[in-house]
Each structure stands twice: as C-alpha cells, then as structure tokens.
Structure 1
Amino acid sequence: MKCGLIVMNKKFILANKQLSKVKKRIERADDILLFLDYDGTLAPFKADPLSAFVLPEVEASLKKLAENKKIHMSLISGRKLSELKKMIDLNRCHYAGSHGLEIEMSFADGIIIPHQNKEIDVLSKKNYQMTKEKYLKAVDVRLEDKNFGLALHFDSEKKQAEAEKDLKALFENTAYHLLSGREVIEIRPKGWDKGKAVNYISDQIREKSDINEVLKIYIGDDRTDEDAFKVLKDGITIYVQNEDDLNTEAEYYLRDPEDTAKLLKSLAGES
C-alpha cells in the first residue's frame, strides 16, 4: 500500500474516452519518451524473479514500438542492470537498473553511474555489512546483492513489516535509505530515485537527438515509480494497480500487466 498520497479520481486509461484522448496527445507529439517499469508492469509477479518473464504480447508490441523513430523507449527497474537486460532484449532501448543507479544508453558505450556516492561513513558501512551477513544466514528471507545495495525478499507482508521496523531504526541517519515494496525491502544509497533517473535519461536523449519538445509517458506499479510520476506533471502517468489500491500520483491506471499489454498493443497500432 502507498500511504500518505492523496486519493484522487483516477482514470482507467483503457476506457474509450480516455484512450482516445491519450492517443491524440501521442499523435500530436513530435517525440515520445516512453518509460516502462518491468515487474508488475510488463511481467506478472513471480515468487522467483528470474521466472517473471515479460508477457509475449507485451514484447511483440514493444518491438513494434521500437521501430517508430519518434519513440525513445527506456526500461527502468529495481533489478540489476545485467539481470534486466537478460529478461528482455529490445533494439533502440535504454536500460536503467537498480532504480537508475546504473544506466546503459543505446547510443553510448559502457555503463553510466550518474549518482556517484560520496565516501560512506564508518557507521553506515558497519550497519550495511551487519545486515548483509544477518540475512545471508536467514532461511525465510532471500537476499539479493545489487552491488549498489541490498534487496530483502520476504514470503509474507507480516515478516516484512517486522523487519522494516528494526531496519528503519538501524539505518536512521546513515548514508542508506530504506524503500519498501511488495514483500521486499531495499537498502540503497540516499540521493537517487527513478524520478532523477527519468530526468537524467531525458536530458541524454534530448542532447543526443537534438530535440526539445517531448511528451513523456511513464508506466509503473510500485512505490519506487511514484518518484517518476512526480516529475512528469506535464506527461502521461499510468499506474498498474495489480492488487493495491489507487493511492498514487499517476493520472491514469491499469489493473494488471494484461491491461498493459492491451494498452501497448493499441499504441503500436495493432488494435
């Protein structure tokens, strides 16, 4: 659940009136910056993240959209960059892993780390290492080392809530930030999020392609995507609800990845 956000009248984007309105905005735009989350947006959730493959119909539509020269596509995920690229391989697509802490632009060589951390203080390092060692030994929590941070995957919301209370106290006033998602707690460096990643990628695309006026579209389903919704006030923001409520900054919503597939199919001109 996303607590603390203002509940507004959200619009179901697949409704004829809303879809027509959005498609008209897209048709009028000279350049589209399309940002997509992965898990829960393009792919259904799975207990094993490595088996959470993108829906086949989604992949087909994305490949067709990638052929449209006015569309600049980016995937932004909490997954490690290397893992994200293994899950889906698209031409002319920019990839951002670890919530944008590691970025690969299609027109540049190498991995970009836009947020260079300052020297981590001793206490922060100590607490981070202690947490890593503790959860490496835990049998009911799966620890994912993302190089930049840790992701703790729980098998129940109750266990997650219990751990979150202790971890918040441990990492208070440190160089690390806690982010809680669906049965997962991430421990990552402060000062960077998907919103900043969206702005960074947008600037890179504009500079490379020599474009100014763009329409930004962001589709995501998690608390981490709220930071991106906030920086796209003039764009099109779409929240994939899954099993949550509609407490979101996004203007529009979809119910699940199957709805995402329908939307992308329509945008690709296949329906």
Structure 2
Amino acid sequence: MLGTPDLEDFLTLANRDPVANVFALYRARTTSLEPRWLGGEMWGRFDNGRLVAACHVGANLVPIGCDVDDARAFAERALTRSRTCTTIVGPHEPVRAFWNAVAGTWGRPRDTRWMQPHLVISEDPQIAGDPLVRRTDRNDLSLVYPACVAMYSEEVGVSPEAGGTTDLYRARVTQLMTRGWSFARFEGGKLIFKAEVACATAEVAQIQGVWVPPERRGEGLAVRGMASVVRLVRKEIAPTVSLYVNEWNQPARRAYRRVGFKETQRFSTIMF
C-alpha cells in the first residue's frame, strides 16, 4: 500500500497521462495518499524499486498507469479481501483485465459499460455559448439538488438517496457549489441545464453530471450550455477539459462533437 512517502513517485507515474488520470491526481494531491483522508487505499506495483503501476481502492476502484499484467496483479490482491468498491472505472483494457480476473468471485454487477468514449477539449469552442449559464451558489440549492438527483437516477439507474444517503449526497452537491464547480442555466424559476466539475488539477478538469430536463431536450441547450461551461472552466479552473460518455448516448456524443470535444481513448465502468 502506498502512503505519503510515495507521493512524488505516484505523481510522476500518474502524470504520464494527466488527462486520463485526473481523478487519481486530484485525489493524491488533496490527500497526500494518507489513507484516512483517501477513504481507502492506493496500491502500488514496483519493478526494481520503481513504481510502475497503481490502483485506487475505495468506493471507486481505478487502475492507474496499468497494462494488462498490472491489472491482473492488482486483481489477485483484490481477491484476498472482500469487495469494497461500488464502481470499477478507467481505461478499457486494464478494467477488462481486472474484471475478468475477479468476476467469478465478485458476482454479477448491476451494470457494465464497456466502451465509453473519453473526450477532451483544450481550446475554446468555435460555437457560441449560452450567456445565461453561470456558476451556482447555495441560494440555488433548491433547484440544483433535485436536478442532480434526477440526473444521477437516470444515468446510474438508482437514486443517490437510496439507503439513507440523502444527507451525504446533498453535502457533495453543496461542496461542488462552494468550490465554484457547479454550473447551470435557469429559466422561469426552473433549472434547464446543468453540469459540474467532478475533479480537477491545475492542468485538467473532468466534467460530470451534464443534464437537461427531458421536456427541454432537443433544443440545443446542452450544446450551448457546454460551450459556456468549457470556456468558464478553461479560463478559471484548468486549460484542458475532459469527460467520458456512454457509447450508446448518441445525442450527447453529437452535442460534445459540436462543442469541439475529441475522442482520445475508451473507458469502461462496472457498477455494483
């Protein structure tokens, strides 16, 4: 298990692909790999004393800098303990290799999403944004929170309030708003577009939770809204913006292409 003394070596490893590894870099820099702050563990694999791969093991299990052999090695270690993660997510090949090694023991997942396009933009969009998209604040919580619950339930297939986790999820939504990582457009006292930054470094910000109410879809709100979000994020948070999207979500993929996002690789997500 890695700890604070391994931080610099870990950052060197993860910075080989700072876009794909933005979650891991963000977690490492905000926790210094201290387990009590990490809310889990960071495993490392070494070759002649050099850190060559890592794996974040918490609510999210995320391979970092892994090839197929690294992923299998981490899977062998994972099989020595009970499953604690609710999601396995990361680049497709190591996620697939990890899952193939643990599937017989960890049981049937609730959902698998194997070929999610990972998208990146490092310049301002060439299309006009929505001038009414802005950062949200605590005064917007009564409109933002229900939209976050609706988006999560639609995307993940289960409510984030299930199992008595309402307070925890509300705290997460509020935290993003406090950080200036929550963006929305309101019209007539209703939220009609939203998106958040899930994690960020000085170089990269990853977007999550892009959502338009079902009755307002097809009007171009997501395209113009995301164009504004990208500009705001690039100006004030990080110069490169990334996200990943379900392969089957063609409307979202078309919207991101219009904004200027380009596919760089494929991610996979396994949910329990």
Q: Same fold (TM over 0.5)?
A: no
Using the size of structure 1 for normalisation, the TM-score is 0.27
**Between structures 1 and 2, the one with greater strand share:** 2
